[in-house]
Amino acid sequence: METKPIDGKAFAAGLRARIAEEVSALRASAGLTPGLAVVLVGEDPASQVYVRNKAAQTAEAGMASFEHKLAADTPEADVLALVAKLNADPAVNGILVQLPLPAQIDATKVIAAIDPAKDVDGFHVVNAGRLAVGLDALVPCTPLGCIMLLKHHLGSLAGLKAVVVGRSNIVGKPAAQLLLKEDCTVTIAHSRTRDLPGECRTADILVAAVGRPEMVRGDWIKPGATVIDVGINRVPKDDGKTRLVGDVAYAEAQGIAGLITPVPGGVGPMTIACLLQNTLTAAKRQHGIA
């Protein structure tokens, strides 16, 4: 069987172009420029790259970008005070606090402090709860991007068997919620799952969000399945440099999977495009526009 890559990079570029058009129409009709504030605490090099990419793509989409870089030893109270200021700022429609945070800062507290209407990550319990009970919510960007790619390539997902490996609040759990909303039959697997390979082999849609380089092997994949690889793992190369690999052994999946997202160029670019989408959605809702 021929395995086709899912080009998340191209799909994300198209999505960003559609968002940019909508942003320019919104400015013309309502005088509104959506604004995204990103808060980065500390110097984590990977986080800095994401923050830079986000700022550039936010500006390209015609939105306002506000960057707040704080020292690694910033006290929790200062981060909470900044979040309160951003909550009150009418130019800021979306707030993202980059995770993980340094040890002295309780991420749960910081997320709880964000106005749910501006929570473009969809991490606040109000948004997680709204998603769980089927109300309009701001949905976490990475799972939202995964679902967009799946629907684009498969059409209806109804009745398909989905296995999500990973149960984090930011990827695994919301991904499972969204697949359920699309009428998949959903299994959530994790580190205590018995016979993980066997569970994975039942999946028409296999979502890997584990953070372990190439853990999912070729023979865990049902022939013809669609594989969504969320993992972003930096591993050493022979020349001393590093390269990115996913949670799925991509080379082994060739000839077995029907469709697969590469790393890089799969889910990652969709995450940022969906962040812009959520910022636009948040801005419109805050102004009572559709």
Ligand X SMILES: Nc1nc(=O)c2c([nH]1)NC[C@@H]1CN(c3ccc(C(=O)N[C@@H](CCC(=O)O)C(=O)O)cc3)C=[N+]21
Can you give the binding site for ligand X, defined by CB under 6 A? 49-50, 53, 96-99, 121, 141, 232, 244, 263-265, 268-269, 271-272
Residue 142 or 277: the one with the smaller Cβ distance to ligand NDP is: 142
54 noted as active-site residue: yes
241 noted as active-site residue: no
Please report how many Cα atoms fall inside a 13 Å half-sphere around the Cα of residue 8, on the Cβ side: 28
Cα-only R_g, the chain: 19
Kindly name the residue from 119, 121, 229, 247 that is annotated as catalytic.
121
Residues 222-251 contacting ligand NDP, CB under 6 A: 230-233
The structure tokens listed for 199 are: 């569970």
Could you check whether the bond before residue 90 is cis, i.e. omega within 30 degrees of 0?
no
Which DSSP string do the residues of 10-50 spell out, in sequence order? HHHHHHHHHHHHHHHHHHHHH----EEEEEEES--HHHHHH
> Which of ligand NDP, ligand X, none lies near 264, with the C-beta cut-off 5 to 8 A by kind?
ligand X
The structure tokens listed for 20 are: 């940019």
**Site membership for ligand NDP, residue 165 (CB under 6 A):** yes
| Three-class SS state of 272 | helix
121 noted as active-site residue: yes
Q: Which residue number places its CB atom closest to ligand X?
A: 268
- Taking the C-alpha atoms of residue 23 and residue 64, their distance in angstroms, rounded to an integer, is 11
> Which of ligand NDP, ligand X, none lies near 212, with the C-beta cut-off 5 to 8 A by kind?
ligand NDP
Kindly tell me which residue out of 271, 277, 279, 281 binds ligand NDP, with binding defined by CB under 6 A: 271
CA distances from 247 to 131, 181, 186, 244 (A): 26, 25, 19, 10
**Site membership for ligand NDP, residue 167 (CB under 6 A):** yes
Binding residues for ligand NDP (CB under 6 A):
142, 165-168, 170-172, 190-193, 196, 209-212, 230-233, 267-268, 271
Give the active site residues: 54, 98, 121
